[in-house]
Amino acid sequence: MTYRIDGLQYANWSEKVFRQMREGGVDAVHVTIAYHETFRETVLNFEAWNRWFDLHPDLITKGQSAKDIDRAKANDQTAIFFGFQNPSPIEDDIGLVEILHTLGARFMQLSYNNQSLLATGCYEAEDPGLTRMGRQVIREMNRVGLVVDMSHSADRSTIEAADASARPITITHANPHSWQPALRNKRDDVIRAVTENGGMMGFSLYPHHLKDKSLCTIEAFSEMIARTAEKFGAEHFGIGSDLCQDQPDSVVEWMRVGRWSKDIDYGEGSASAPGFPPMPEWFEDNRHFGNIEAGLKSQGFDADEVAGLMGGNWYRFFRDNFTPQ
Amino acid sequence: MTYRIDGLQYANWSEKVFRQMREGGVDAVHVTIAYHETFRETVLNFEAWNRWFDLHPDLITKGQSAKDIDRAKANDQTAIFFGFQNPSPIEDDIGLVEILHTLGARFMQLSYNNQSLLATGCYEAEDPGLTRMGRQVIREMNRVGLVVDMSHSADRSTIEAADASARPITITHANPHSWQPALRNKRDDVIRAVTENGGMMGFSLYPHHLKDKSLCTIEAFSEMIARTAEKFGAEHFGIGSDLCQDQPDSVVEWMRVGRWSKDIDYGEGSASAPGFPPMPEWFEDNRHFGNIEAGLKSQGFDADEVAGLMGGNWYRFFRDNFTPQ
């Protein structure tokens, strides 16, 4: 069995996008449902998804474990797995970790660019590492099967999380800093800490994470994957496209500023380019996963490695890490 | 297979009470986790139960469907099913019906003594029947498998709910008004509407619902069950003890007054007897279910009828009504 799984998307969801997932043969997607939302606001987002599952049973289904991916595949659906890019949904209450896992959450970032109650974000000047609550919450996430995601966290916090966590952690969407020196891309010691503990990284297609940004070629992207796989082992990687399809620019502002600042913060953008950057022409939406698969083949990966990178590695990671210990 | 199932309790939970459930051979209990709580406060109560399940896996387990009762039985545990005595946990948001079902809620009363957003309570002077939102919420409860409980609702609202609901409804804890004319006990036309639609009533042991209150004899209680079963069919009944073991009197005040009044309301009590009334000496806690079983046998019920009344009828009701349609 081969799988096509995306480690992160945050589209402006619609029947159109769901249909494109089916056209692209996407079996499962990890979908962000909270950036800065409180618990109650996050529950409203679960409610909205319940409505979509009710309206589009022919296209999508709720994913909670890897076997839901096989069920989705058998029924020609895409399995939707939920995650948070910030720990704001648990507020200051460790009991909400299990509650949110029961509702369907499977990934939670310990911080998003800024310092959180748990860990430091990648835009802070100082990174003191995991907080007291951060260590408690990692243990609770391990217990219930909520995966630690450090995509937007700072280096020391990420390495400490990889070491403190009894189960593998992930960076769902980023690329190596050595290839494109964005603050959000990851240095080798960070990638090593995550992968040596059995963790996974998803390669990002968000243009700010790509060499030459929107003009990045599929050849350059595929070659970066080949070099990274050589260094750390192909089995530790997948795709985490960070596709934000059909979102208005007001959403990237919400992602960056939330309610934490009265000033504008451009994140990876700038005053002259504050919005979402255009996607590379070879990956505009879910119908283009075939281009990535072709790119990987042209790098000399064998069939098993290609299948692993396109979804098999995420499948195995989902299978091992979403259930209670 | 025979079962011992209680249709409602609200004890001050402790290891002591859980051990008494095991001593009494109680396979499953419907437990109240909200009277007047908001959604967020109700989630805190789910969190507290998650902690109890974690601390006492040798005694209790979370119940979500009838097969959890069989699993609990096999492991010498009591299965705990959750319910609300008021619709306050869904606030004004119909989407919370599915969210709370996902968290484990299996019963919800549409009102508690007073008018709610959904239906009228049994202490109101006027009962205009189901509200617009009430009819919508019943449909949603039917869809997801959250059972309508009308124990504290007024007559017209209850009869309308029994008719409007596409699935059987319940009165988890009450007795016939003809036997003990408490406001909370149910007139024959109400019991008929519920049972004719396949629903169930649990006989209450709360002293205010008993003839001679705390002094009621097991013979009088058993005879009342025999007369009620003759009239409506034994298969529609079980026990709903309303046991509030070890609760301080401040809790009965919370149940009655919540935050809706600045004046004290004595409910079924009085200024001279504001607290919890003493339980009958033959049913003081979970270890006494055998006394009820003996009482039923002495009324001439056959073995199947006794097994049904002690738990088999609730088992069948749980099996048919907790899963999505």
| Nearest residue of A to residue B51, measured between CA atoms | A95
Residue in B46, B93, B96 closest to A99 by CB: B46
Using the beta-carbon criterion (under 8 Å), do B47 and A98 form an inter-chain contact? yes
Indicate if the pLDDT at residue A267 is higher than 90.
no
Rounded to an integer, what distance in angstroms lies between the CA atom of residue A293 and that of residue A283?
11
Q: Report whether A110 contacts A148 (CB < 8 A).
A: yes
For chain B, say whether A140 makes contact (Cβ under 8 Å): no
For chain A, say whether B50 makes contact (Cβ under 8 Å): yes
Sign (positive or negative) of CA dihedral B45, A165, A155, A301: negative
The confidence score (pLDDT) of residue B268 equals 87
For chain B, say whether A93 makes contact (Cβ under 8 Å): yes
Beta strand pairing call for A105-109 and A170-174: unpaired
Using the beta-carbon criterion (under 8 Å), do B46 and A104 form an inter-chain contact? no
Question: Taking the domain B5-321, which CATH number applies?
Answer: 3.20.20.140
Q: Where are the domains of chain B?
A: 5-321
Indicate if the pLDDT at residue A77 is higher than 90.
yes
Residue B279 identity (one-letter amino acid): M
Rounded to an integer, what distance in angstroms lies between the CA atom of residue B203 and that of residue B209?
9
User: For A111-134, how does the pLDDT look when each residue is reduced to its tens digit (9 = 90+)?
Assistant: 999 999 999 999 999 999 999 999
Name residues whose C-beta falls within 8 Å of residue A123's C-beta, 6 or more positions apart in sequence.
A113, A114, A183, A267
Chain mean pLDDT for chain A? 97
Using the beta-carbon criterion (under 8 Å), do B47 and A102 form an inter-chain contact? no
Share of chain A above pLDDT 70, in %: 100
Using the beta-carbon criterion (under 8 Å), do B46 and A93 form an inter-chain contact? no
Q: Band of the pLDDT at A268, cuts 50, 70, 90?
A: confident
Shortest alpha-carbon distance between residue A75 and chain B (Å): 19
Its pTM stands at: 0.94
Q: Report whether B32 contacts B8 (CB < 8 A).
A: yes
User: For B194-245, how does the pLDDT look when each residue is reduced to its tens digit (9 = 90+)?
Assistant: 999 999 999 999 999 999 999 999 999 999 999 999 999 999 999 999 999 9
Rounded to an integer, what distance in angstroms lies between the CA atom of residue B205 and that of residue B217?
11
Using the beta-carbon criterion (under 8 Å), do A96 and B43 form an inter-chain contact? yes
User: For A55-66, how does the pLDDT look when each residue is reduced to its tens digit (9 = 90+)?
Assistant: 999 999 999 999
* DSSP SS3 for A109: strand
| Nearest residue of B to residue A47, measured between CA atoms | B95
User: For B29-79, how does the pLDDT look when each residue is reduced to its tens digit (9 = 90+)?
Assistant: 999 999 999 999 999 999 999 999 999 999 999 999 999 999 999 999 999
Q: Report whether A134 contacts A110 (CB < 8 A).
A: yes
Chain mean pLDDT for chain B? 97
Rounded to an integer, what distance in angstroms lies between the CA atom of residue B112 and that of residue A77?
42
Residue in A44, A50, A99 closest to B98 by CB: A50
Chain A interface test: which of B47, B52, B62, B101 (most A C-beta within 10 Å): B47
